[in-house]
Amino acid sequence: MAKTNSYSRFWTLLAKMPCSDRDGLKLQLVSSFTNGRTDSLREMTLSEYNSMIREMEKQTGSSRPVSYEVLKKKRSAVLHQMQLMGIDTANWAAVDNFCLGVRIAGKKFRELGEAGLEDRRGKKIAAQKPRTELEELKIKMAQLEYENYMLRMERDLLKKLDELERRDAFRK
Cα 6 from chain centroid (whole Å): 23
Give CA–CA dist 42/21, Å, rounded: 20
% pLDDT > 70, the chain? 84
Over 60: is that where the pLDDT of 1 sits? no
For residue 94, give every residue at least 6 positions away whose Cβ sits within 8 Å of its Cβ, in sequence order, or none. 87, 88
Mean pLDDT of 39-63: 85
% pLDDT > 90, the chain? 17
Q: Mean pLDDT score of the chain, rounded to an integer?
A: 83
- 17 C-beta neighbours (distance < 10 Å), count: 13
Give CA–CA dist 81/77, Å, rounded: 6
Mean pLDDT of 37-62: 86
Mean pLDDT of 119-143: 73
At residue 116, what is the residue type? G
Predicted pLDDT of residue 61: 76
Distance from the first to the final alpha carbon of the chain: 100
Q: What does pTM read for this prediction? A: 0.39
